[in-house]
Amino acid sequence: MSALNPSGWQPSMGDAQGSGSELVTSSGDRGLMFEEPLSFEIGALDKCGVDMDEPGGEPVAALGAFLRKSAPDLPGLTEPETVRHYSRLSRQNYGIDLGPFPLGSCTMKHNPRLNEKLARLPGFADVHPLQPPTTVRGAFEAMDELSKWLIALTGMAAVAMSPKAGAHGELCGLLCIRAAHDHAGEARDVILVPESAHGTNPATAAFAGFKVESIPATASGRVDLAAMKAKLGPHVAGVMITNPNTCGLFEPEMKAISDTVHAVGGYVYCDGANFNAIVGKVRPGDLGIDAMHINLHKTFSTPHGGGGPGSGPVVLSEALCPFAPLPFTVRTGDGEAHLVEESNAAAIGHTLAFGRMTAFHGQMGMFTRALTYILSHGADGLQQVAEDAVLNANYVLRSCDDLLAAPFGSAGPCMHEALFSDSNLPEGFGTLDIAKGLIDEGFHPMTVYFPLVVKGAMLVEPTETESKAGLDRFIASLRHVARRALNGDETLHAAPVLAPRRRLDETLAARKPVLVWQRDPG
């Protein structure tokens, strides 16, 4: 038995099930962890979870050609089978309610249950988007209250609430910028994006019809101001800057960047997905920003990941708010929040809206959660969110930078994310080994190979909701795995060996994805 292998088991490299034990069971299940087949493998069409009447009458003759010739390949399951199938699968899942989720850039923090309680109040949960506005005054009131907070926290002039994710908010901001240039009769078709940007930034700019030009990063991981200046001109519609950036660093020259871009007639979009690090500390409006999305699901805590839900309100400067999309709420002389749509926009002088981002008003459940989160923290509590998020990230950075390379570690403290790389690991060991090793330790891996400007990047975002004791456990595991790599422990290449599945062949999965289950393969 070695210190690295206290229980004495030998990883069996050929074992596709990843048992981590030589004991083979007849069922494939181990202890109370189940080897769950596909529903297609346990289902059959003669089984059903509900009672249904036999279809009556004769098929309509004219439709005969469309009748299926063979039974559909669907898995029929009984109710207990269905419940067990999904409950068993859910036990193989990992979520923020089980442990830390240190994915950099994603801000996976604990989601207070109070948010859920309020979002489930029938007055919020059951509103229908087509209800007459007079019957949903309270919902408008809540949206208006949240708008006011977002405007106050960012120091901006207005907010478009309807975008349904960060990337959707980026699109909304760029469409505002396009509308402003169109209105001024200017044909500008280039958006400048730093190398270190989140992938959604260049994708959104291209989707909005702009050409994307990239701005290099300096050796300290910041936007190269001189290189940006050299690219500015009458063809540049604007720049998209992430601040704090994806290296977990604050852009100290943000105001200078904004002033320079404004001087040549461009607009400044800020990717505000990392607002968690600066909420209550810095107002983007003071940095000259024209548009910025806020990920309510990150900074203002709605459970997210796995595809949703999201909500990405966009705060706008004086210059861009005339172009804000419909609908939105305004508080009028009667003191109540009212909905502004196409029918009444002209009456309040909002005639330049670029259109709509969504059919309706946005994500009511997320508005309620975000407002609850904001009100329960208060202004001082939100400030502490940013302080603790930054403190926690620096604690992780300084607790591990003797074992893992920290590319910008010498540039001073980080913001909310600690960035490491695999550059100091021995030949043959890399970021993937560290990430997979963490799974055996019982931790979800950090973000890997992003940002792209750092080779073999590992981006850890602990968030403010991890306690010191929780961080110490994570740090101990990260250090243990890093030491295994530094010691050249070849068994690390097999990790994870304790998870329900071993390391998958990602190349094969990408090249030859099996997207359709076949009852009779071969």
Ligand X SMILES: *Cc1c(COP(=O)(O)O)cnc(C)c1O
Residues making contact with ligand X (CB under 6 A): 105, 165-167, 198, 200, 242, 246, 271, 273-274, 295, 310, 312
Nearer of residues 107 and 368 to ligand X, judged by Cβ: 107
**238 beta partners:** 191, 267
Closest to ligand X by CB, 273 or 316: 273
Closest contact distance (angstroms) between CB of 317 and ligand X is 20
Spatial distance between the Cα atoms of 114 and 198, rounded to a whole number of angstroms = 31
| Opening angle at CA 27, ends 22 and 30, nearest 5 | 50
Q: If we measure between CA atoms, which residue out of 381, 433, 385 comes closest to residue 277? A: 385
31/306 with CB nearer ligand X: 306
Query: Which residue lies nearer to ligand X by CB, 154 or 295?
Result: 295
| Closest CB to ligand X: residue number | 166
Closer Cβ to ligand X, 106 or 482, answer by number = 106
Least Å from the CB of residue 165 to ligand X: 4
Of 443, 452, 480, 461, the closest CA to residue 394 belongs to: 461
Nearer to ligand X, 271 or 422 (CB): 271
| Selection from 210, 221, 222, 105 nearest residue 166 by Cα | 105
Minimum distance from residue 308 beta carbon to ligand X (Å): 9
Taking the complex as a whole, how short is the minimal distance between the CB of residue 389 and ligand X, in angstroms? 14
Residue 8 exposed, middle or buried by CB count within 10 Å (0-12, 13-18, 19+) = exposed
Place of tokens 């043959």: 428
Host H or E run for residue 339: strand 337-340
Place of tokens 């923020």: 96
Q: Kindly list the distances between the CA atom of residue 320 and the CA atoms of 101, 200, 266, 290, in Å, as whole numbers in the listed order.
A: 36, 21, 12, 7
- Report the residue number, 302 or 317, with the smaller CB distance to ligand X: 302
DSSP code, position 223: B
**Residue 185 C-beta: closest distance to ligand X, Å:** 31
Rounded CA-CA distance 222/15 in Å is: 46
CB 315 within 8 A of CB 158: yes
